[in-house]
Structure 1
Amino acid sequence: MMHNAAMKVTIYEADTPIGEAEIFALDPPMGVAMAKFKSLSAYDVERHANVVDGDYIEDRGRGLRIEMSDGVPLISQAISIQAWPALGEHEVHILGILQPSFETLFCEHPDFKSHWGKP
């Protein structure tokens, strides 16, 4: 179940998709992935974003879940949507990835290889 460097995921609130994201960077020792977030019609910055224009609001990720493009759940300790509406930018940070394992998902990603000294 190895995924490539440009892994795409969908973020859901219950069974409703609120956004799609493409992972662009990793923090391997922390088990964190960062992705560009593209909102869908059900997304509401006031209900879903933890950070708005750089200000922490609150943990709003508890009711969210993530699926990979093949429908497999990506289980993590937290999901944090970072929104900068004034700039038209959004990111999602997937914190403490548990299942599938971080290594299984990202062993081919350049950030993973760089951290672990693999060519």
Structure 2
Amino acid sequence: MKVDILNDEKVIGHADLGPIDPSMGVAGGRFVPTRDYDPRLHAFVIDGEYNDLEGKAQLTACSAEFGVLRCEGVAIEDFNETVQEINIVILGMAYPEYETAFASLLRLGGGDEIFASGSLRPDVRIRRSDERPRVRSTSTIFFGVVRR
């Protein structure tokens, strides 16, 4: 599903989302930024470092077909400097919109089902008591097919 990512009604990027964890309503994909994207203002993680966004970014995802996606949160993980990759994760998408949006990816012909499960695991390390926690995020996605 193609979406625009917005901050304060301004498009900061685009993504083609796929299902990651249907049971939790999680979707994700590569984020393609526009000129209005600024990692310091919009990314939750920048090259493995936690970026405190409290009160800064109110991101939303919007598709031409479904409008603004009802979800619990939109998070950008920017690893552009280290691995030339920026990812977007949509958390807690509402049902039945999730199933409708990804129906073609969740169901294959002949009753086969494709599944995707994943995890976003923050790795928190505190170096000294006077320093802020450092968070590195690792995304893992597994895909498979269940034959019926």
Fold similarity call, TM over 0.5 = yes
How far did residue 118 of structure 1 move?
7.2
- Counterpart residue number, 1:20: 14
How far did residue 57 of structure 1 move?
2.0
Compare CA radii of gyration and give the structure with the larger one: 2
Q: Which has the higher contact order (CA 8 A, sep 6+)?
A: 1
- Counterpart residue number, 1:51: 45
CA distance in 2, matches of 1:68, 1:109: 17
Question: Does the 8 Å CA contact 1:62/1:79 hold for their aligned counterparts?
Answer: no
How far did residue 114 of structure 1 move?
2.3
Which amino acid counterpart does residue 76 of structure 2 have in structure 1?
Answer: I
How far did residue 9 of structure 1 move?
0.3
Deviations 1:26-80 (A, max 9, x none): 2111110011100001100000000111222235685111110336111110100
Question: Does the 8 Å CA contact 2:41/2:53 hold for their aligned counterparts?
Answer: no
Gaps of 5+ in 1: 1-6
Residue of structure 1 aligned with 2:99, choices 98, 103, 109: 103
Identity, % of aligned positions:
29
* Aligned positions of 1:19-98 closer than 5 A: 19-59=13-53, 63-70=58-65, 72-86=67-81, 87-98=83-94
How far did residue 24 of structure 1 move?
3.8
Question: Does the 8 Å CA contact 2:42/2:57 hold for their aligned counterparts?
Answer: no
TM-score by length of 1: 0.80
Q: Calculate the aligned-residue CA RMSD, in Å.
A: 2.6
CA distance in 1, matches of 2:147, 2:103: 9
Larger deviation, residues 63-72 vs 80-89? 63-72
Which amino acid counterpart does residue 17 of structure 1 have in structure 2?
Answer: V
Larger deviation, residues 37-46 vs 60-69? 60-69
Measured at CA, do residues 59 and 27 of structure 1 come closer, stay the same or move farther in structure 2, by a change above 3 Å?
Answer: farther
Length, aligned pairs only = 113
